[in-house]
Every structure is written in C-alpha cells, then in structure tokens.
Structure 1
Amino acid sequence: MPLTNIYIILICVHMFIENAVELLGLVSDRTRLEILLLLKRRDFYVCELVYVLGKSQSLISHNLRLLRALGVVTFTKEGKWFRYSLKKDKRFRFLSCLLEDITLPDEMEKRIDKLKGKDRVGLCKLIKETMEEHNVQGD
C-alpha cells in the first residue's frame, strides 16, 4: 500500500475520533440528549420540543444550533416554523447505538402522546400561547 494511502487512512481515523469526541460532548448535556432522543423518533417543530421538554424556546434553540453546527441535525423552514430532524449520516451510527436503550421520563412520553394526530402548525400556536401563560423557564 502506498504511503499516501496510509496517511489518508490515518487522517480518516483521526477525523472519526475527533467527531466521536465532539458528539460525546454534545450528549453529555441533558437537554441535548433529550432533543436527540426525540428526534430519533421523528421530526419535531421547535415549539413541540419546548412543550415536550418543558424548557424555554431560547434554551431549545441554543442547543439545536449546537447540534446543527456539528451536522447532527438538520431543519426545514415551513413559513415561520422550523422543523428539525436527525441527520441520516453513517458518521453518526454510533450515536444511534448510544441512544438505543435510553428512555424518556414518563411525563415526556405523556406529552408526546398528546401531540399525536394534531395539526402541527396550529398546535405550535397553541403551545406557544400555553407556554407564555405558564411563563416557562429553563435557561
């Protein structure tokens, strides 16, 4: 094997290790871990994440920016709403394995159940109003 190929392999291994270290750092935060667990199930609007996690929109958005910066999540803008999803990328396979056996608290599961079958954009408006009424904190 030519020496240049060995260097390329070593660079790839190093990049994987660096990526793994960054990813593990990301999941060391409870909010980011919860976001990833939710996005592993399906796409979520930011307001849905706020509702299910019971945390402020600014905290959720901050953590989504960090996850997006590493390329773990992606988003689609639908009007004024952002819908986030877990990026399908083989570099993050071990992240899926890590998330496999972690469960969400029962309270979050109940909130997820309440979202089923609802119009998501209309629901976002309702959730936003509800969160403002209850003055949700989380920062």
Structure 2
Amino acid sequence: MAQRKPSEQTSRPPVRTTYLVSQTWFALRDLTDIALKQHGITGIQYTVLSILASRNNLSPAQLSRRFYVTPQAMGQMLTLLETSGLLNRTEDPANRRILRVTLTKAGLDLVKECDAEMKVIEEDVFSILTAKEITMLRSMLQSVAEHARKDATTSAA
C-alpha cells in the first residue's frame, strides 16, 4: 500500500470551543461539588446564594431566567434553601403577586464560608494563567455570556 504524503493526510478539525468550555465547566463543577459538599449545598445552590448576596431582593422568576431553569425548578430549589434557613421569600410591597428573595444571616455566613473554598479552587485551577490572562479571560467570558444570553432571549421570543 502506498504511503500518503503529509499534505494528503486527513487532518482533524479543531476541537470545538463549545466542547472546551463544557469540559472546563464539568471539571470545575466536580471540584466545586466536592468542596461544597461539606457545607451541605451543591454548586448551583451556592451560585444562587452568592448571586443573592450581591443582588438581594431578586424574584424567583428573575433567578430562573438567570440560571436557564424553569420557574418550577427554581421554586423547588428556593423551597429547599428556605427550609434550610438560608433565605426568605416575602411579598413585594408594590405587587403582592411577586415574591422577593433575600438571604438570612445563616445564608450570608454560608456564602462567605463557601467563597473561601471557591477562592482556593479558582487560584489552583487558574494558576497556569498570569493575572493579565485571567483578567482577559474573565472579560471575554463575560462578553460571550452576555451575547449568548441576548441570543437566547431573542430566540425565545
């Protein structure tokens, strides 16, 4: 059988960016879930709590859109977190049909504890990058996320 010349060999297409992002996400999710298990919460529960720590009084509907889950799924998660004493849901004074979600002191304390765990994970995983590269990566990921969110909103309409 004749040997192919290098130029005739089939080259593999580059790995898809979406695949690389997914692989990074899955690895980070595993590390996060392991670290947060000792605190009795999952990665997505921590993320919801941390969002509430910085943006209090969001509605369950706002949270479900932010996390791309159904209102029912978010409602179940919020019920679990509320039962655990980590958050409260109260009626919006301007519109009683809207609930507002706020952290309790226990929820805020838990976020602070978990933030320390997340800092260790981030420092370890991203230690292969310089501070400038991390800043660039964060900026690029934020831009892509905002663009993707706009596309998802437009497609849903």
Q: What is aligned with 1:68?
A: 82
Q: What amino acid is aligned across from residue 156 of structure 2 in structure 1?
A: H
Greater gyration radius: 2
> What secondary structure sits across from 2:105 in the alignment?
coil
Deviations 1:12-61 (A, max 9, x none): xxxxxxxxx997222x2x33122112111122111110111111101110
SS of 1:97 mapped into structure 2: helix
Hey, which bits of structure 1, 4+ residues long, moved more than 3 A?
Answer: 100-111
Higher relative contact order at CA 8 Å, sep ≥6: structure 1 or structure 2? Answer: 1
Q: Give the alignment of 1:101-120 within 5 angstroms.
A: 101=118, 106=142, 110=146
Q: Residue 108 of structure 1: CA displacement?
A: 9.8
Contact 1:46–1:83 under 8 Å retained in 2: yes
Q: 1:99 aligns with which of 104, 115, 127?
A: 115
Candidates 88, 91, 108, aligned match of 2:105: 88
RMSD across aligned positions (CA): 3.8
Aligned to 1:53: 67
Deviations 1:63-92 (A, max 9, x none): 000000010001211211111011124x86
Q: Structure 1, unaligned stretches of length 5 or more?
A: 1-20, 115-129
Corresponding residue SS for 1:60: helix
Aligned to 1:31: 44
May I ask how many residue pairs the two structures share in their alignment?
Answer: 94
Distance 1:88 1:110 in 2: 31
Task: Decide whether the 8 Å contact of 1:31 with 1:63 is kept in 2.
Answer: no
